[in-house]
């Protein structure tokens, strides 16, 4: 089962290493991880996407809570939440594909953020399915490079 966990941590050096070392040391998997400061500059949020059965997830949340630098752990699984990821895609742009690329970008409400002689760089935001579908459609045109932010999430309401 895939779980998205939001973790509030102290915004100080070494915290990312602590969390990462907890996951690697105990053999937990990290599918995606993103970190950023919150409104309170002393606190950061980590959004961690991980996989495991109930027992493993119980251990992951407990072990995270046990870290002194961790202030709060929220497993969003089973709750209403929104999840987004941004991806930058550099795709080959040839005369015969340009129009298609722009149309697809439009449908996915993406933006062309850079145009080169042989490529477009496109920004798209969405949940996992949307990003996956978008990349599938661009694949035949020749994706040269991608960069993703990792997922961020918030509980609804």
Partner 1 sequence: MKKTGSQILLESLKREGVEVIFNFPGGAILPIVDELSRWDLKRILVRHEQAAVHAADGYARASGKVGVSLVTSGPGATNTVTGIATASMDSIPVVILTGQVPTPLIGNDAFQEADIVGIARPCTKNNYLVTDVRDLARIVREAFYIARSGRSGPVLVDLPKDVLTNTTEYRYPEKIHIRGYQPTVEGHIPQIERALRLILTARRPVIYAGGGVVSSGASEELIKLAGTLQIPVTMTLMGLGGFPGTNPLSLGMLGMHGTYRANMAVTECDLLIAIGARFDDRVTGKVDAFSPKSKKIHIDIDPTSISKNVRVDIPIVGDCKRVLAKMIALLQKEEALEEYRRSLGPWHQQMEEWRDAYRLAYQQNRVIKPQYVVEKLYELTKGDAIIATEVGQNQMWTAQFYQFDHPRSLLTSGGLGTMGYGFPAAIGAQVAFPGRTVIDIAGDGSIQMNIQELATVMQYKLPIKVAILNNGYLGMVRQWQELFYERRYTLTHLGEVNPDFVKLAEAYGAVGMRATKPEEVVPVIQEALRTPLPVLMDFVVDPEEGVYPMVPAGEPISQMLLV
Report the residue from 16, 18, 31, 154 that binds partner 1 according to the rule CB under 8 A. Answer: 18
- Interface with partner 1 includes 63 (CB under 8 A)? yes
Report if residue 58 touches partner 1, rule: CB under 8 A.
yes
Among 29, 59, 132, 147, binds partner 1 (CB under 8 A): 59
Near partner 1 by CB under 8 A: residue from 29, 38, 65, 147: 65
* 38 is an interface residue for partner 1 by CB under 8 A: no
147 and 85 Cβ atoms separated by less than 8 Å: no
Selected binder of partner 1 within 27, 39, 53, 55 (CB under 8 A): 55
Binding segment (CB under 8 A) for partner 1, from list 54-62, 124-132, 139-147, 149-157: 54-62
Compute the half-sphere exposure of residue 91: CA atoms within 13 Å on the CB side of its CA: 29
Tell me the H-state helices in 39-124.
Answer: 54-66, 98-107
Q: 1, 2, 36, 66: which one contacts partner 1 (CB under 8 A)?
A: 66
Segments of the chain assigned E as strands: 2-10, 32-37, 43-51, 70-75, 81-92, 111-115, 119-126, 143-148, 152-155
What is the pairing mode between strands 143-148 and 81-92?
antiparallel
If one asks whether residue 71 binds partner 1 (CB under 8 A), the answer comes out as yes
């Amino acid at each position: 089962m895939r779980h998205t966990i939001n973790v509030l941590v102290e915004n100080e050096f070494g915290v990312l290493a602590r969390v990462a070392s907890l996951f690697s040391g105990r053999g937990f998997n990290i599918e995606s991880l993103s970190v950023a400061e919150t409104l309170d500059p002393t606190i950061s949020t980590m959004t961690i996407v991980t996989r495991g059965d109930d027992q493993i997830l119980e251990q992951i949340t407990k072990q995270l809570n046990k870290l002194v630098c961790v202030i709060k752990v929220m497993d969003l699984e089973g709750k209403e939440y929104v999840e987004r990821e941004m991806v930058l895609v550099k795709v080959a742009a040839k005369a015969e594909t340009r129009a298609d690329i722009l149309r697809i970008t439009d449908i996915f409400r993406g933006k062309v953020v850079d145009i080169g002689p042989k490529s477009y760089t496109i920004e798209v935001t969405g949940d996992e399915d949307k990003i996956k579908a978008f990349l599938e459609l661009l694949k035949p045109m020749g994706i040269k490079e991608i960069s993703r932010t990792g997922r961020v999430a918030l509980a609804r309401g």
